Every structure is written in structure tokens, then in C-alpha cells.
Structure 1
Amino acid sequence: MKEVTRRGFLVTAGALAAGGGVAALVEAGVLPGRERAARALGRCGELPAPPPRPPGPVEEHTLRAGGETVRAVIGRPPGARPGPPLPVAVLLHGGGGNARTPFDVYAIQNYLADAVAEGTPPFAVASVDRWFLDGLVTDRLLPFLADRGLATGRFGLLGWSMGGDGALRLAAEQGRARVAAVVATSPAVDDTDARSYARRLTGIPVWAGCGDHDSFAEPTEELLATLRDAGERPQGGIYPGCHDAAFRRRMLPRQLPFLGHRLAGGTDD
């Protein structure tokens, strides 16, 4: 439990006196269960409908990895024309997810179509089951994507929850020579991990965000603060929301332009 300051104690004591009771202490972060309380009070927000723009093609493939069979899913923007290979962002699902989750739960293909129609440089997105298997992304998925006509010399990363942790870790391991940009949504990290990743992400554009009712909000703030202290200019922040699909969908219109412009070698500033 985080330390309670004198001011925080007085604020929450006032809330108790006003009839707020235990709920006020939970909301202030003094007692555990803040996200549960937010959900019960309807403060997490509804799952937004995806953009109505028709998405581009989504392909499902099978890979062999270390004696196991895994699925890989590739989404491209609508109307992709022959020419230079499209850059690609690798999507890392959260705990309990799989290669279909970014497409079936977050409708990333719809958000990608909308972003490209609004001026984001086109790029593909790709995911794989159990991305955390040793070497699966770097040794199996990326070569497979190259064989499918995508540019993988430098790639982007986007991860949710456990996948946000994985995206930060993989970006830190691969460095700016390979990673064009990394996006971490509600990354499942603690303060120590956040500081460690930040020190190893020098030169890599970072977007990190979390819901204000999410237990990972403070480590996300720590990650962003450590990056800024190191002279980096990360984007993202803490926004209204919880640790759920509704929050993650709401972030995609911010995140996909960030990725697309950097995969194309520029910025969206």
C-alpha cells in the first residue's frame, strides 16, 4: 500500500466526515480495490464502437515454433498497392490473449484503416500466439513477415498489459537499430521495471499510457518521468479509464498515428 501523506489523510478524513465512508478511502487510493470501486460506480467507460470505415485484409497463418504450432495474424490497411514493402508493427497480447485478440477484441484492423485514411503513413500489424516463447518474435515471426512481403529491418511494437511489459522489454533488448517505436498500454510493470526499461530505451520513441483507475498507473508515470529525466520526449500519459478493453480501444486513435509516422521515418508532432 502506498504511503499516505498528511494532506491525503486530511482529505480522506474529510470525505469520511461527509459520509463517503470506505468508498472514499478506496477512491483516494488509501485502501486497495480502487479499480473495482471505479467499475462498480461506472467510471471505467463503455467499450467504444470501432470506426465504421471498412478494414483491410486480415490473414491467419500457422507457424512452427520449438515443436509447437502457433497462429500468426497479419492485418494490412485497405487498398495497399504494390510498391516498397510496408513496415510492420508487432502486437503483443496480454495474459489470457492470443494472436486473434488485437483483431477480435480491439478491432485494430478498423482503427488502422481509419488512421491511414486520415493521413497516417500506411503500415501492417501482426500478432502471434504466445509471443513470450523464447525467440518467437525475433527468430520466427519477423522472418516469416519478411517472407510475406513486409519490411522488418526496423519494426514497431505495441503491447497491452503483460504484452506492454513485453513490448518495453523487447524494445530495450533490440535497441533503436531495430525498433522504430514502442507503444505500451497499461503495461504490467512495477516501479523498478519501469525505471530499468526507461534507462535502456534511449533513442527509441515511446508512447506509454494507462487508465487513472488502473493499478499500473503509477509505474507508467514512473516510466514516463524517468524517460523525461534522461532527455527523452515520450508521449502518452494517464487518462480516464481502467485495465480493460474499453480503455485500450480508446487509446488506439492516439497510438496508431504515433507508430505509423515513426515507422515511416518521421514524427507526428
Structure 2
Amino acid sequence: MTGPSRREFLVGGGLLAAAGGAAAALVHAGALPGRERAARALGLCGEMPTPPAVATGPVREHSLRTGGEPVRTVIGWPPGAKPGEPLPVTVLLHGGGGDARTPFDVYAIQNYLADAVAEGTPPFAVASVDRWFEGRVVMDVLLPFLAERGLRTGRVGLLGWSMGGAGALRLAAEHRGAPVAVVVATSPAIDDASARRFARELTGIPVWAGCGGHDSFAGPTEELIVSLRDAGGQVEGGIHPGCHDAVFRRKMLPRQLAFLGPRLK
């Protein structure tokens, strides 16, 4: 059996390229099933951004106990601040499969925080905790511990990714104003019904909500944003190019930290 002629090869290659272009167009339009998997295969999710090359502040790891079990927390301060300084704080809620180290080891939040403060964002600390979703770990265990370390916990921020984004919205709805003053939800794992419910419950505090356009949670996130605006809520964010991954989450950090800082003063 002979192989394809040069003309057949070129025509076939052109058809494949055209098919790839059509698939990319369908992915962009959200019309292709499994759009995130297709977007990743087509290289549409983007490249991992390099964290800002800046000196970071102190990062300390501690062990707490909840229900008799040890739980780890990690606290990061901006450059120039010292552990014990009475700064406001944002609590970081990891996604499924993550832990208290994820915001620091995967998203390099200490670098982005240092850069944001250098650019003029009012300084604040960040703190994460393992298994934040178990019981009332954030409110009954983490916040009292942070207060003992000198951080201001009367007005806190929440920043969550994926499952943690949904958790941040839920905690903000339950504790809006006191102590939750502002919430950021990145690619929150929500559906349309919960998006509309959160919109009704969160009109009283500033919300930043955003998602990658190729993310399966883009639709509910857009529903949340639109519903909040319709209800007169304070909301920023939007649907941006990207997928449900650390690439998108790192890209969003500069605008999210700039949103949080002034609202924690």
C-alpha cells in the first residue's frame, strides 16, 4: 500500500487545521461539550504566569487543634510587617484536594501580596487553614487564633478557589458585615440556583467574583454577577479567558488583592 501523495497530505492537513479552527471557535463560544477538556487540548488555557520577583514578608506555619485533631494554619504578612502587628486579615479557602499550603506553594500568594502592597494596596495579612470546611473551623478556631496573634479579626476578608470559592460565598452570606467585610470567589463551584441565592444574601458587602471562560462554572459565576448587579449589590470581576486551574487563579490575584486591601481598612 502506498502512502498519501503530497497533494493529499496537504489537503488533509488543511482539513485538520480547519477542523481545529472550527473546534477552537466552538470552544470559545461554549458550544462544544467538555469545553474545558477541549480548551486544554487546544492550548487555550494559557501559560502559568511567573510570580512577581519581589521580596516577600514572613510566612509562618502553626498547628491548631479542632475536635481533638491537629489542623495546620499558615499565616503570611506583607514585607515590612512583623508577626504580631495588628493588621487586617484575609482568610484563604483552598479548593478540593488542596490544603493550607496550597495558596503559598501553588499560587505564590506571598509574592502577589508583596507586589500589591508595593503598588499601593493597603497592607493586610493572609491566613489559610487545612480542612476549612469541617464544622466551624474558620469562625470558631482560626479567627480566635489569629486574634491571639495580634491580627484584627473584627472585619475580615475571604478569598476562595473552586470549592473554596463556594465556601467563601457561603461564609460571607452567613456572617456578612460581622466579621466578613468583603469576599472574593474565584471559579466558585456553584450552580445557577445557588448563584441566585447568594446574590440575594450578599447585597450588603463588596463581592469580587470571576471565572475562566472555558471553565464549567463560568455560567453560574456570570449568573451570580448579573443577579448581584440587578439586586444593587457591590460586585466586580467577570468572565475572563482561562480554565479551572492554577494558571487562571494566579492571573486573577493582582486585581483580587487590590480589591481586598482598601475594603479591610
Q: TM-score, normalised by structure 1?
A: 0.88
- The equivalent residue for 2:108 is 107
For 1:125, the equivalent position in structure 2 comes to 126
Distance 1:112 1:75 in 2: 9
1:6 paired residue number: none
CA contact (8 A) 1:60 1:71 kept: yes
Counterpart in the other structure of 2:73: 72
Match of 2:41 in 1: 40
**Are residues 174 and 80 of structure 1, via their aligned partners in 2, closer, same or farther at CA, if it must alter by over 3 Å?**
same
What residue number does 2:89 align with? 88
Q: What SS does the aligned partner of 2:257 have?
A: helix
* Superposed CA offset, 1:55-76 (max 9, x none): 1000000010112111000000
In 2: Cα distance, 1:48 partner to 1:29 partner: 24
What letter is aligned with 1:73?
Answer: V
Q: Residue 51 of structure 1 corresponds to which residue in structure 2?
A: 52
Q: How does 1:1-269 map to 2 (within 5 A)?
A: 19=19, 23=23, 25=26, 27-80=28-81, 85-264=86-265
Q: Deviations over 1:105-142 (max 9, x none)?
A: 00000000000011000000000000001010000000
Point out 4+ residue stretches in structure 1 off by more than 2 angstroms. Answer: 18-31, 81-84
- CA offsets 1:22-72 (integer angstroms, 9 cap, x no match): 836555433421111111111101110100011100000001011211100
Q: Aligned-residue CA RMSD in angstroms?
A: 2.0
Q: For 1:261 and 1:146, locate their aligned partners in 2 and report how far apart those are by CA, in whole Å.
A: 20
- C-alpha displacement at 1:259, in angstroms? 0.5
Counterpart Cα distance in 2 of 1:78 and 1:226: 38
1:81 and 1:20, CA in 2 relative to 1: closer, same or farther beyond 3 A? closer
Structure 2 residue runs without a partner (length 5+) = 1-17
Q: How many residues align?
A: 249
In structure 1, what is the Cα distance between the partners aligned to 2:85 and 2:97?
Answer: 36
The CA deviation at 1:180 is: 1.3
Which stretch of structure 1 is more off in the superposition, 23-32 or 87-96? 23-32
User: Which whole-Å CA distance do the structure 1 matches of 2:145 and 2:139 have between them?
Assistant: 10
Alpha-carbon contact 1:27-1:37 (below 8 Å) kept: no
SS of match in other structure, 2:80: coil
Counterpart-to-counterpart distance in 2, 1:96 and 1:256: 23
Distance 1:213 1:119 in 2: 32
Counterparts of 1:131 and 1:145, CA distance in 2:
14
Cross-structure match for 1:14: none
In terms of Rg, which structure is larger? Answer: 2
Q: Is the 8 A contact 1:155 1:263 kept in 2?
A: yes
Distance 1:192 1:21 in 2: 34
Residue identity opposite 1:102 in structure 2: P
- Unaligned 5+ segments in structure 1 are 1-17, 265-269
**In structure 2, how many angstroms separate the alpha carbons of the residues matched to 1:251 and 1:110?**
13
Deviation of residue 202 (structure 1)? Answer: 1.9
Q: Matched residues in 1 for 2:191 and 2:124: separation?
A: 31
